[in-house]
């Protein structure tokens, strides 16, 4: 699978679907151009030291390489945002989560997962409580 390199490619994928898993968050976006699926890897500096981040990226790359060609959707880009548990999760579970996540994230019915929905009243207005002063 090819990799995403440019920041603009990562930002474009961030506008697509988003799905959380135990060891990572999958972001996905279908492309118009024909071609094989591409994947990008992100491990933030909140996650351990540089050695730990490199080990996590190697595990994620190995999990992607473990997938069969039928498991990878065509004409799509993916970004894997790693979590700490990517090091401790058994490798077969990591591959299974990745396999199920790649197909689900492209489903239009999958919510983006951008925080909690705000409560609304009957008229559709958001309920923001203000301090009475």
- So where are the chain's domains? 2-105
Comparing C-alpha atoms, which of 67, 129, 126, 53 is closest to residue 96? 67
For domain 2-105, the CATH architecture is 2-Layer Sandwich (3.30)
pLDDT tens column, 83-116: 999 999 999 999 999 998 988 888 877 666 544 4
User: Is 39 a residue whose pLDDT tops 70?
Assistant: yes
- The CA distance from 72 to 65, in Å, is 10
In this prediction, residue 49 carries a pLDDT of 93
Tell if the pTM clears 0.85, that is, is over it.
no
In this prediction, residue 115 carries a pLDDT of 47
Q: What are phi and psi of 116, to 5 degrees?
A: -80, 145
Side-chain-facing half-sphere of 103: CA atoms under 13 Å: 9
The predicted model gives 43-60 an average pLDDT of 94
In this prediction, residue 107 carries a pLDDT of 81
In this prediction, residue 112 carries a pLDDT of 66
Question: DSSP letter at 22?
Answer: S
Which residue do the tokens 């880009």 mark?
A: 77
């Amino acid at each position: 699978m090819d990799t995403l390199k440019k920041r603009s490619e990562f930002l474009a994928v961030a506008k697509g679907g988003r799905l959380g898993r135990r060891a990572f968050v999958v972001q996905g976006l279908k492309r118009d151009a024909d071609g094989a699926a591409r994947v990008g890897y992100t491990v933030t500096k909140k996650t351990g030291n540089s050695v730990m981040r490199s080990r996590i990226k190697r595990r994620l790359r190995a999990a992607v390489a473990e997938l069969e060609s039928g498991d990878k959707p065509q004409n799509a880009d993916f970004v894997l945002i790693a979590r700490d548990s990517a090091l401790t999760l058994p490798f077969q579970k990591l591959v299974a989560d990745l396999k199920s996540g790649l197909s689900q994230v492209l489903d239009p019915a999958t919510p983006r997962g951008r925080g909690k929905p705000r409560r609304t009243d009957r008229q559709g207005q958001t309920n923001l409580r203000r301090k009475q002063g």
